[in-house]
Amino acid sequence: MISADYDGLVAATRATLERIASDFTPAVFASSLAAEDMVLTDLILRAKLPIRIFTLETGRLHKETLGMLDRVREVYGYDIEPYRPDPAAVDAYVQQNGLNAFYDSVEMRKECCRIRKVDPLNRALAGQRAWITGQRRAQSATRTELAVQEDDAAHGMAKFNPLADWLEEDVWHYIRSNDVPYNPLHDRGYPSIGCEPCTRAIQPGEDVRAGRWWWENPESKECGLHVVDGKLIRIKQIA
Ligand code: SF4
């Protein structure tokens, strides 16, 4: 069931994005190309807001996820900017540890995420006043304190999660009623999509992020984009 005040939720999200565009320029949206991020992409591009959209092209994404870059170009005439890892760092990791060493330990997994996601993210965020994510509070045990606006001290800028209050049903209601393109993996049991070797389909009733790094325990399941020194950033909400 969608939120009782779904229309108010959409209006508040539009207002948040407009405020970011007017008060926090330059601002960027880090899109994972998943369902939530397509909602934000649609809201940003239809309103022609001056917010640049990029994605972390880790080199290990599903072909369906990469296909979303073409879909966005077809539907909106917009090129989402891919940020890729440093080839030398990837080569060194693979040479020393093997291509799939992330299965061996949490440390090896975090090191792969650092090279393929965190370092490119830091490059993408350089010089910005704010960044935007498609995270929702209801997504997992690690996101229960998520606020719409946070102080990202680690990056020295504001961080916005405009969909923090949205339910999964709200996301799909928006997508279906606005003909928003979405990753076909969502129809094959993937509510949350990351890199191909680190994401599996889930069974009915499983937590939506159960398919991400499924071999780890739930508390360690973040990619490092929202953590510092291996811990979740304790986020200070700005009134
Ligand atoms: S999700 Fe997996 S493949 Fe992707 S960067 Fe992290 S450890 Fe590496």
Q: What are the pLDDT digits (tens) for 34-47?
A: 999 999 999 999 99
Residue 179 lies in a domain: yes
Residue 178 lies in a domain: yes
Q: Has 33 been annotated as catalytic?
A: no
Nearest atom (ligand 1) to Cα of 110: 7
> Environment class of residue 44 by beta-carbon count within 10 Å: exposed (0-12), middle (13-18) or buried (19+)?
buried
Residue 106 lies in a domain: yes
Question: How many other C-beta atoms lie within 10 A of the C-beta of residue 89?
Answer: 14
State the total domains in the chain.
1
User: By alpha-carbon position, which residue is closest to atom 6 of ligand 1?
Assistant: 113
Determine the distance separating the centroid of ligand 1 and the alpha carbon of 46, expressed in angstroms.
32
Average pLDDT, the chain: 90
Q: How far is CA 124 from CA 54, 65, 110, 224, in A?
A: 8, 19, 19, 15
Residue 46 lies in a domain: yes
Among the options 9, 90, 158, 223, which is catalytic?
A: 223
User: By alpha-carbon position, which residue is closest to atom 3 of ligand 1?
Assistant: 195
Residue 161 lies in a domain: yes
Q: Which of 210, 185, 186, 213 is nearest to 100 (CA)?
A: 213
Eight-state DSSP code of residue 137? G
Q: Which CATH number characterizes residue 52's domain? A: 3.40.50.620
CB 157, CB 28: distance < 8 Å: no
Nearest atom (ligand 1) to Cα of 60: 3
Residue 1 lies in a domain: no
User: By alpha-carbon position, which residue is closest to atom 1 of ligand 1?
Assistant: 195
Residue 35 lies in a domain: yes
Residue 196 lies in a domain: yes
Sequence-ordered strand ranges (E) for 57-203: 81-83, 130-132, 149-152, 157-160
CB 229, CB 121: distance < 8 Å: no
Share of the chain above pLDDT 90, in %: 77
Question: Does residue 195 have a pLDDT over 50?
Answer: yes
Eight-state DSSP code of residue 117? I
Q: Which of 154, 66, 83, 69 is nearest to 124 (CA)?
A: 83
- In tens, the pLDDT along 11-61 reads 999 999 999 999 999 999 999 999 999 999 999 999 999 999 999 999 999
CA torsion, ordered 177, 183, 186, 187, to nearest 10 deg: 80
What's the domain range around 171? 6-237
Whole-model pTM: value is 0.88
Question: Does residue 126 have a pLDDT over 90?
Answer: yes
